[in-house]
């Protein structure tokens, strides 16, 4: 028995590794990085992800992947090639890089936090910070504000319209959000650079919102500012919608009525050629491998209930190893002793799982998504026997299930406290879809041009489910149903993960960053998307 194991003898069964079933750890199998469709159960519509093909993938697997995941050709702007080439050359310059850094860094410095519980606009003063953000956008992108018309929705929501000279063409809708997740004051000291510093270290821009979603908003705005600066005038109208409460579940924006009046009434349903909303954009197989290879390290802290268990064991058990007892008791005041105890007890997986967070990627296939009513019914049926067993009344989402005339000892109430339950959104078309081909072809083009590559095989684009919903899309679709009216071609994708997974980091947590090179590629992506959509004849 090792010294660490020996020192644990005398602890209760749950703490003694010698008395636990220590099953061998699961073998990690390196996943093939090929273009497979990856699905997950979720409530939202459609996302795009990209991966880099591996040379080790078997030919038959690649064939299956290609069959399941149709690939569009890399789509470089042809009609507007002179404009495209000029802007690509510009984006490669050090001068433009410095400007892009300033654009995003300045945006990050404005603390546009939105919270779960906020009073309405005009009542809660915390919304007022968006006035400073609007002023910053006006100053930073003057051509956008001079050329595009702007409507403000509920004071802080921004809807820009870039008119096209061909009215018969359906417009495109690009979205982003101005607000960011609040920074927990208790974590401020954990940030390598202050969370609203917008610090640039020569490679990354640091700060809350740098990647979610100031990066996307600045990427869209910069692309249009560039296009206007070289004299581009679109044939196809483009609409930009920048929400301000996405991180607060989109409860305040109320922009759907504005969009309905402006587009659905004059143009009828399916008014937009396509919608691109923020979404997932990770190299999936690499992500799985990374998660599996880097488990969350458990940490023993004095304010954890399990620490009290250790203390009680130390003072109450006569069988505990004397050295272990001393270490536990010393850890009350000694950080060194606390870490020593931590290193010993977390050898046992069961103890580690009690204190830390366990995780494993174990769903790698898709399925048929259940509707809200199905989920409610399943939950209700699961709870009914429990209510009956303990003589409790049961109310499920407003419906009284048990007989109210029968006395009960208590009650169970199933409800949605947020009131924002949504049925799964429909799958946006991707096989034989002109909109999907334009979007995926543009992704390939931006990826290639940024790396000086050519051809269609450097990157594969494939569909997947978006696991969650976003405030913007819920708002724009009148709690999702409006989505069917605006456009069936609604794609959740953000071109921010440029270099094999290093593009963005730590969304919603400490040390959020974005790689500046990814920001530059994002600008190129939106530029190419607008130019490609402008000349498409089959949207």
On whether both 212 and 94 belong to a single domain, the answer is yes
Each residue of 473-516: pLDDT tens digit? 444 433 344 555 778 888 878 786 544 445 666 788 889 999 99
pTM > 0.75: yes or no: no
> What is the domain range of residue 308?
3-27+296-355
CATH code for position 228? 3.40.630.10
| Residue 367 counted as domain residue | no
DSSP helix/strand/coil, 254: coil
| Residue 324 counted as domain residue | yes
pLDDT at res. 303: 76
Q: Which two tokens stand for residue 174?
A: 């690009």
Q: Which two tokens stand for residue 453?
A: 């590559």
Q: Structurally, how many domains does the chain consist of?
A: 3
| Residue 248 counted as domain residue | yes
| Residue 134 counted as domain residue | yes
On whether both 270 and 329 belong to a single domain, the answer is no
Separation CA 397–CA 399 (nearest Å)? 6
Q: Which residues contact 63 (CB under 8 A, 6 or more apart)?
A: none
Q: Which two tokens stand for residue 477?
A: 């679709």
Separation CA 63–CA 54 (nearest Å)? 14
On whether both 516 and 390 belong to a single domain, the answer is no
On whether both 193 and 249 belong to a single domain, the answer is yes
Residues tagged in the binding site annotation: 177, 212, 247, 277, 508
Please identify every stretch of the chain with a pLDDT value under 50, giving residue numbers as ranges.
1-46, 49, 51, 56-58, 60-62, 64-66, 265, 281-283, 285-291, 359-370, 469-481, 498-501
Count of other CB atoms within 10 angstroms of residue 481:
12
Buried b (16+ CB within 10 A) or exposed e, 241-279: bbbbbbbbbbbbbebbebbbeebbeeeeeebbbbbbbbb
pLDDT at res. 472: 44
Each residue of 290-348: pLDDT tens digit? 445 555 567 788 776 677 777 777 776 667 788 888 888 888 888 888 888 888 887 77
The string of DSSP codes covering 167-216 is TTSPPEEEEEES-BPPPPGGGGGG-SS-TTS--B-SSEEESTTTTTTHHH
Residues tagged in the binding site annotation for Zn(2+): 177, 212, 247, 277, 508
| Residue 429 counted as domain residue | no
On whether both 276 and 134 belong to a single domain, the answer is yes
Separation CA 68–CA 37 (nearest Å)? 7
| Residue 316 counted as domain residue | yes
Point out the residues that are catalytic: 179, 246
């Amino acid at each position: 028995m090792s010294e660490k194991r020996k020192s644990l003898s005398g602890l209760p069964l749950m703490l003694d590794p010698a008395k636990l079933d220590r099953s061998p750890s699961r073998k990690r199998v390196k996943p093939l990085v090929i273009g497979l469709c990856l699905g997950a159960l979720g409530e939202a519509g459609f996302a795009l992800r990209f991966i880099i093909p591996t040379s080790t993938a078997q030919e038959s697997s690649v064939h299956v992947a290609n069959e399941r995941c149709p690939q569009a050709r890399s789509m470089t702007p042809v009609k507007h090639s002179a404009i495209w080439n000029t802007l690509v050359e510009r984006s490669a310059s050090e001068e433009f890089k410095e400007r892009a850094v300033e654009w995003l860094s300045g945006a990050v410095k404005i603390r546009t936090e939105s919270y779960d519980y906020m009073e309405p606009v005009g009542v809660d003063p915390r919304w007022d910070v968006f006035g400073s953000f609007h002023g910053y956008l006006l100053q930073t992108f003057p051509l956008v504000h001079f050329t595009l018309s702007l409507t403000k929705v509920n004071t802080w929501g921004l809807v820009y319209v870039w008119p096209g000279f061909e009215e018969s063409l359906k417009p495109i809708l690009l979205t982003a959000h101005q607000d960011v997740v609040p920074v927990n004051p208790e974590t401020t000291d954990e940030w390598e650079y202050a969370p609203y510093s917008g610090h640039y270290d020569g490679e990354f821009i640091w700060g809350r919102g740098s990647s979610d979603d100031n990066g996307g908003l600045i990427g869209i705005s910069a692309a249009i500012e560039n296009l206007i600066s070289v004299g581009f005038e679109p044939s196809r109208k483009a609409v930009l919608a920048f929400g301000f409460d996405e991180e607060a579940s989109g409860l305040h924006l109320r922009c759907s009525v504005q969009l309905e009046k402006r587009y659905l009434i004059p143009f009828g349903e399916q008014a937009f050629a396509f919608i691109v909303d923020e979404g997932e954009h990770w190299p999936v197989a690499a992500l799985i491998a990374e998660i599996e290879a880097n488990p969350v390290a458990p940490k023993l802290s004095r304010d954890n209930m399990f620490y009290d268990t250790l203390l009680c064991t130390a003072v109450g058990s006569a069988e505990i190893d004397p050295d272990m007892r001393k270490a536990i008791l010393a850890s009350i005041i000694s950080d060194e002793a606390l870490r020593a105890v931590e290193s010993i007890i977390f050898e046992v997986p069961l103890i580690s799982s009690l204190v830390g967070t366990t995780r494993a990627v174990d769903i790698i296939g898709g399925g048929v998504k259940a509707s809200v009513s199905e989920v409610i019914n399943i939950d209700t049926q699961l709870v009914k026997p429990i209510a009956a067993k303990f003589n409790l009344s049961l109310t499920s989402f407003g419906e009284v299930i048990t007989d109210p005339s029968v006395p009960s000892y208590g009650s169970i109430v199933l409800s949605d406290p947020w009131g924002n339950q949504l049925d799964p959104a429909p799958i946006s078309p991707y096989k034989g879809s002109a909109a999907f081909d334009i979007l995926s072809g543009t992704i390939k083009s931006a990826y290639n041009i940024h790396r000086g590559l050519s051809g269609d095989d450097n990157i594969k684009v494939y569909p997947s489910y978006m696991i969650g919903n976003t405030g913007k899309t819920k708002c724009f679709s009148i709690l999702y149903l409006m989505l069917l009216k605006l456009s069936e071609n609604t794609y959740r994708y953000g071109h921010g993960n440029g270099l094999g997974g290093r593009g963005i980091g730590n969304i919603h947590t400490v040390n959020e960053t974005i790689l500046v090179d990814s920001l530059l590629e994002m600008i190129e992506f939106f530029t190419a998307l607008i130019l490609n959509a402008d000349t498409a004849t089959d949207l």
